[in-house]
Chains A and B, each alone.
Chain A
């Protein structure tokens, strides 16, 4: 029982780490209907930028603020340089633009920072906190879960309590209607990309601390993709629940089924699970029902 709990809970917590990346997907998808292939690269770019500032001798807080500024500028730049010129482009064109962006960001990162692994110490201990008998929880995972909670609360407040948040929800609902009533569309796209950049920073810090800041960091996007799909593409709550579910299923599957049919399950179980759920609920767990016009 304690072992089961151990596997289950650590799965949930790992899943939340995927959710952090999936939330970035959700933000961009909701605003523009595009899957942002570059979210993983943005996570990497954020972590690298932070580490660089920090290694230059700047303090922790200063480095975070500067990285924040860089990510927001990146968001604005993406809108100015690419999206503004692709206003009427098809979704596949926009998707290809995000693929291009991913290569540019990664190439640039490699050029500026080289290929070696940078350590990232957030000063959060990774101790095993005994909960019950042999069942322990990692203090770092708990910290990450707390950060995820703060991030989600912050986003909820932003979307539901601010004027910009209402603009963004109106664009998600009907871009043409938003345009027709004068919502500043390009500025809002920049805001969304900047927000996705901030989310990438949070994910980048936590994943960087976990794995070290290196180029494989952008691969966490592959883990977050099934979470995004499972959660229903457009819901932040969905991304959180989806992450928890996928984390748990992946861990339990690997331990209890993997021991029978061999290891290596963690790479495909999330996808298989997401597909299975999609067969039953085609719009994902929290996909928006299309509201019927009466």
Chain B
């Protein structure tokens, strides 16, 4: 389990960052988290909790949405990257797969994959080999390599987006809601590939997910966000076993998902009720 004051041996360390949009909208209120070397970390929370804002703050894509980091700092491989440009981050091995996948719809699947290869200045003679490396993980992409990416299925587009990121040979992929809009068995397939990449290519992942159950099954560690704050973090197995997490996020209370806060209140009321009875 990662302690809050873990030393900076981590691959990625986010220290108490605050993210503000349009100079006034405070979306992330002091989030800290760590991704260890070769780790898979899940960033969990309901819609609007601040998961995407956190990821985009790390990848610096936030700047295109008039967002900025107003407090805290981020280090990657020991270097401060709080004010780095996305271009340099990608070259340095940190890349984001955006929520909603964002393939290049009019480019073919293969052209999608080629863009980051060119960013990395892969030699012409090496390009084929690099593509085959990706196709080995995503055989379906090889079948569809000449199709326009916009016309492939949602699952295939997610594969294009991950395969494309992989082309940049990253050390860390920030993966935003890979399960969004996909059938359960496709989600499972995607997470299997993530795990495979983690083991064979030594790629670390920070995965933002609303699908807590699946994410915690594949992750080593997890943090739960609520309204821009981390309300709980720890070992994935421990989080899955935690009663409050079960009730609030894993839909095991028999009452449907509740927020963490509501769950706490619910427990409090239950205790007070029991007290009164006694």
A residues near B (Cβ < 8 Å) are 87-88, 163, 166-167, 169-170, 172-185, 288, 291-294
Query: Which of B66, B91, B98, B111 sits near A182, CB closer than 8 Å?
Result: B91
Interface CB pairs A-B, < 8 A, 9: A87-B64, A169-B104, A173-B106, A181-B116, A182-B120, A182-B168, A291-B106, A293-B154, A294-B152
B103 within 8 A of A: yes
8 new A-B contacts at CB < 8 Å, known A170-B112, A291-B148: A169-B104, A173-B104, A177-B104, A180-B86, A291-B151, A293-B105, A293-B157, A294-B154
Please report the C-alpha to C-alpha distance between residue A89 and residue B89 in the assembled complex, in whole angstroms.
23
**B65-87, CB under 8 A of A: which get 1 and which 0?**
01000000000000000000011
- State whether A180 and B105 are in contact (beta carbons under 8 Å apart), knowing that A88-B63, A167-B115 are contacts in the complex: no
B54 within 8 A of A: no
A166 & B98 in contact (Cβ 8 Å cutoff) = no
Q: Chain A residues with Cβ under 8 A from B105's Cβ? A: 173-174, 291, 293
**Which chain B residue shows the least CB distance to A179?**
B86
B164 & A181 in contact (Cβ 8 Å cutoff) = yes
B59 within 8 A of A: yes
B114 within 8 A of A: yes
B90 within 8 A of A: yes
B116 & A177 in contact (Cβ 8 Å cutoff) = no
A294 & B96 in contact (Cβ 8 Å cutoff) = no
Query: Which of B66, B119, B150, B152 sits near A181, CB closer than 8 Å?
Result: B119
**Which chain B residue shows the least CB distance to A163?**
B118
Q: Chain B residues with Cβ under 8 A from A294's Cβ? A: 151-154, 157
Please report the C-alpha to C-alpha distance between residue A169 and residue B107 in the assembled complex, in whole angstroms.
8
B147 to chain A, nearest CB (A): 11
Which are the 8 A-B pairs with shortest beta-carbon distances? A182-B90, A291-B150, A177-B102, A291-B105, A173-B104, A182-B119, A163-B118, A181-B116
Q: Chain B residues with Cβ under 8 A from A185's Cβ? A: 87
A183 & B150 in contact (Cβ 8 Å cutoff) = no
**B34-64, CB under 8 A of A: which get 1 and which 0?**
0000000000000000000000000101011
B66 & A88 in contact (Cβ 8 Å cutoff) = yes
Query: Which of A87, A167, A177, A292 sits near B103, CB closer than 8 Å?
Result: A177
B85 to chain A, nearest CB (A): 9
A77 to chain B, nearest CB (A): 21
**Which chain A residue shows the least CB distance to B97?**
A180
Q: Chain A residues with Cβ under 8 A from B97's Cβ? A: 180
Please report the C-alpha to C-alpha distance between residue A88 and residue B68 in the assembled complex, in whole angstroms.
12
B106 & A176 in contact (Cβ 8 Å cutoff) = no
Q: Chain B residues with Cβ under 8 A from A169's Cβ? A: 104, 106-107, 111
Query: Which of A88, A166, A291 sits near B114, CB closer than 8 Å?
Result: A166
B165 within 8 A of A: yes
**Which chain B residue shows the least CB distance to A88?**
B66
Q: Chain B residues with Cβ under 8 A from A291's Cβ? A: 105-106, 148, 150-151
Please report the C-alpha to C-alpha distance between residue A292 and residue B106 in the assembled complex, in whole angstroms.
11
Q: Chain B residues with Cβ under 8 A from A181's Cβ? A: 90, 95, 115-116, 119, 164-165, 167-168
A182 & B61 in contact (Cβ 8 Å cutoff) = no
B61 & A180 in contact (Cβ 8 Å cutoff) = yes
Please report the C-alpha to C-alpha distance between residue A183 and residue B154 in the assembled complex, in whole angstroms.
24
**Which chain A residue shows the least CB distance to B105?**
A291
A176 & B148 in contact (Cβ 8 Å cutoff) = no
Query: Which of A88, A176, A293 sits near B150, CB closer than 8 Å?
Result: A293
B104 & A174 in contact (Cβ 8 Å cutoff) = yes
Please report the C-alpha to C-alpha distance between residue A257 and residue B61 in the assembled complex, in whole angstroms.
56
Query: Which of B59, B91, B115, B150 sits near A170, CB closer than 8 Å?
Result: B115
Please report the C-alpha to C-alpha distance between residue A293 and residue B90 in the assembled complex, in whole angstroms.
26
B170 to chain A, nearest CB (A): 10
A168 to chain B, nearest CB (A): 11
Q: Give the interface centre of A172, A176, A179, A185 by most chain B CB atoms within 10 Å.
A: A179
Q: Chain A residues with Cβ under 8 A from B98's Cβ? A: 176-177, 180
B162 to chain A, nearest CB (A): 12
Please report the C-alpha to C-alpha distance between residue A10 and residue B27 in the assembled complex, in whole angstroms.
61
